[in-house]
């Protein structure tokens, strides 16, 4: 082999090695956004047993509420975030009461709840687009410092750090709540068997409302932070995220919090590496190819239990 | 009279084609819903059929019958790959996995220059006739009615009502689900091929998630107690926006609303009678 070709390969390798830490970090942040988004979604499935497709709508709603809070009410972001999360949580309770509680009472098959939220999503997005328009909106420029902070070879900005920190604290908080609190115990009992939980004195309606609220608030939080990071807010932002969300929760195992975190990070890192070293067009296909591989080799996901219906 | 008919056909040809194609799509949805499953990938199966058929016609100039056959086989294979592993799990997995096909197809079609990228394929010769669409619709509908009256149809109904009980009674659940999904993908692919050869243009955005949801609304409006219901739903939801033009902008709202109301308040759809049993 002529020496210059070898040189070329070395140069290429050196370049890849040089870019690798930044690409990995970008992937880690992207993965955190996927995990952040998927947490509320997977919690809702884990406890309530429904795939609630309106979750993507909570995401968009949270982002728009933060936009309203920071622009019209001129609140700072650390107040706008809880404001948006709180209101989105309340909206989630209302939507659950209208769409899913009647089906729960009727003991309708689980696919009915998926279908009703599917129809509702289409309805809600179309109404949202009709009132808010499809143009991309931005949060006020001074709301957060977008300047990059350098750590050695890699750069990161404040909103990215915020996403990673919030995702990590939510995961820890959720796991702690589920494992150690009385409410966590009632959630687990509801997930196991709703009727038995009710007979044992668990106020299942209250647990359902609280879980809806938490999921909605988490969806809204994800919307605010991701809207802040990409600095682009529009009604359909939830739908694009939702499609990734499906991949994350299936790969992680439906209803599993740790699984959602790990699957989110894996997808994010693989996407960043694909975009960085192969092709940015194929980036979005990564999650879905991984999804199909998961379905073939471990259909219940990384941490899932066999969800086979038994008599 | 003939002149009137020609005139009528000329003005309304697109709508007449659309009703037939949507009728086929509604039946493809019925095949899956009838065994108590949900596929959100009908638009993708349709898209695969449309692109396979258009490419075969444009590049290889295959005879139309062979093109239609290929447009049914390729989506069926995709359905096997996607659906195969999910069928021993609960229906949620199939629903979510089929969403993945819609997305993969969209990404692939937009990125591939072979399929014309975001611009799609144009100049597809018009080979679809009204007789062909409605003939095939009638054949598929008749086939489903005959199935509904048979032992197989009773097994499907049993699965829809209570999967566990049906399994205990000896219904081979994974085989039934896989069969339903494959048949459904074939019909959707056929509809896609017919539509591609009626419109002369196809693009990646014709087979979106919204379209998949619209196909579900056909079946839920009509009701899945019999195969006639979904076809009726497709006819109504295709013609309604044509007559009420002010409704056109709100088509998605109407479809969404129909799904919500149908699931919550009229789970059997508007056509509630069932096909009688024989033997």
Average of pLDDT values for B208-230?
A: 84
Give the tens place of pLDDT for each residue, A37-53: 899 888 888 888 888 88
In a domain, A238, yes or no: yes
In a domain, A196, yes or no: yes
Closest chain B CA to residue A298: B85
Pairwise CB contact (< 8 Å): B93 & A307: yes
In a domain, A263, yes or no: yes
pLDDT of residue B64: 85
Instruction: Find the domain containing B34 and state its range.
Output: 17-209
Nearest residue to B185 (alpha-carbon basis) of B86, B42, B18, B2: B42
Instruction: Find the domain containing A97 and state its range.
Output: 26-297
A306 vs A165, which has greater pLDDT? Answer: A165
In a domain, B232, yes or no: no
In a domain, B240, yes or no: no
- The number of C-beta contacts closer than 8 angstroms across A and B is 133
In a domain, B223, yes or no: no
Q: Tell me how far apart the alpha carbons of residues A142 and A140 are, in angstroms, rounded to a whole number.
A: 6
In a domain, A20, yes or no: no
Looking at this predicted complex, what is its ipTM? 0.77
Average of pLDDT values for A272-294?
A: 83
User: B258 CB near a chain A CB, below 8 Å?
Assistant: yes
In a domain, B141, yes or no: yes
CATH number, domain of A170, equals: 1.10.3470
Suggest the residue from A42, A49, A99, A111 to mutate for an interface test with chain B (most B CBs closer than 10 A): A111
User: Are the C-beta atoms of B263 and A110 separated by less than 8 Å?
Assistant: no
In a domain, B171, yes or no: yes
Closest chain B CA to residue A304: B89
- pLDDT surpasses 90 at A58: yes
In a domain, A15, yes or no: no
In a domain, B106, yes or no: yes
Question: What's the structural domain count of chain A?
Answer: 1
In a domain, B270, yes or no: no
pLDDT of residue A4: 61
Report residue A310's pLDDT band, with 50, 70 and 90 as the boundaries: very low
Q: What interhelical angle do A55-71 and A204-230 show, nearest 10?
A: 60
Measure B236 CA to nearest chain A CA, in Å: 18
Pairwise CB contact (< 8 Å): A116 & B99: no
In a domain, B81, yes or no: yes
pLDDT of residue A306: 53
User: Are the C-beta atoms of A249 and A263 separated by less than 8 Å?
Assistant: yes
Question: What's the structural domain count of chain B?
Answer: 1
Distances (CA, A) of B240 to B13, B236, B247, B255: 16, 6, 8, 11
């Amino acid at each position: 082999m002529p020496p210059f070709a070898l040189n070329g390969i070395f140069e290429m390798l050196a370049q890849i090695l040089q870019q690798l830490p930044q690409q990995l970090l970008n992937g880690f942040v992207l993965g955190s956004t996927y995990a952040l988004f998927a947490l509320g979604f997977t919690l809702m499935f884990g406890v309530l047993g429904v795939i609630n497709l309106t979750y993507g709508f909570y995401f968009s709603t949270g982002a728009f509420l933060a936009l309203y809070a920071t622009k019209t009410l001129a609140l700072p972001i650390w107040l706008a975030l809880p404001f948006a999360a709180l209101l989105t949580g309340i909206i989630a309770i209302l939507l659950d009461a209208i769409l899913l509680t009647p089906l729960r009472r009727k003991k309708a098959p689980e696919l009915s709840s998926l279908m009703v939220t599917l129809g509702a999503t289409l309805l809600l997005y179309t109404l949202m687009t009709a009132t808010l328009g499809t143009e991309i909106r931005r949060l006020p420029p001074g709301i957060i410092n977008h300047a990059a902070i350098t750590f050695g070879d890699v750069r990161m900005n404040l909103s990215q750090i915020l996403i990673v920190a919030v995702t990590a604290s939510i995961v820890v908080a959720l796991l702690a709540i589920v494992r150690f609190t009385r409410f966590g115990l009632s959630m687990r009992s509801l997930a196991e068997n709703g009727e038995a939980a009710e007979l044992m004195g668990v106020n299942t309606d209250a647990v359902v409302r609280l879980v809806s609220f938490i999921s909605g608030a988490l969806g809204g939080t994800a919307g605010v932070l991701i809207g802040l990071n990409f600095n682009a807010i529009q009604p359909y932002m939830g739908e694009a995220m939702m499609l990734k969300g499906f991949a994350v929760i299936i790969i992680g195992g439906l209803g599993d919090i740790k699984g959602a975190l790990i699957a989110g990070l894996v997808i994010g890192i693989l996407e960043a590496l694909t975009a960085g070293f192969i092709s940015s067009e194929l980036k979005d296909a990564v999650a879905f190819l991984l999804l199909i591989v998961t379905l073939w080799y471990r259909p219940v996901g990384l941490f899932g239990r066999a969800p086979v219906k038994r008599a | 009279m003939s002149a009137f008919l020609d005139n009528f056909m000329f003005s309304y040809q697109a709508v007449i084609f659309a009703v037939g194609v949507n009728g086929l799509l509604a039946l493809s949805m019925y095949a899956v819903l009838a065994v108590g499953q949900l596929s959100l990938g009908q638009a993708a199966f349709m898209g695969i059929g449309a692109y396979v058929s258009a490419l075969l016609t444009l590049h290889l100039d295959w005879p139309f019958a062979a093109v239609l056959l290929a447009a049914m086989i390729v989506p069926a294979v995709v359905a096997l790959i996607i659906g195969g592993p999910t069928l021993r799990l609960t229906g949620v997995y199939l629903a979510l996995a089929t969403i993945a096909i819609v997305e993969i197809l969209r990404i692939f079609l937009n990125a591939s220059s072979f399929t014309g990228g975001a611009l799609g394929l144009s100049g597809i010769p018009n080979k679809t006739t009204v007789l062909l669409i409605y003939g095939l619709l009638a054949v598929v509908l008749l086939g489903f009615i005959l199935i509904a009256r048979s032992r197989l149809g009773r097994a499907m109904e049993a699965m829809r009502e209570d999967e566990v009980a049906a399994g205990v009674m000896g219904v081979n659940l994974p085989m039934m689900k896989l069969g339903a999904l494959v048949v459904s993908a074939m019909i959707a692919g056929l509809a896609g091929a017919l539509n591609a050869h009626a419109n002369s243009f196809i693009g990646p955005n014709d087979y979106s998630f919204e379209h998949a949801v619209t196909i579900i609304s056909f079946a839920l409006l009509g009701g899945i107690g019999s195969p006639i219901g979904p076809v009726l739903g497709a006819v109504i939801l295709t013609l309604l926006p044509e007559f009420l033009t002010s409704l056109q902008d709100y088509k998605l709202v109407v479809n969404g609303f129909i799904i919500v109301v149908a699931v919550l308040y009229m789970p059997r759809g508007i056509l509630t009678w069932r096909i009688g049993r024989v033997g």
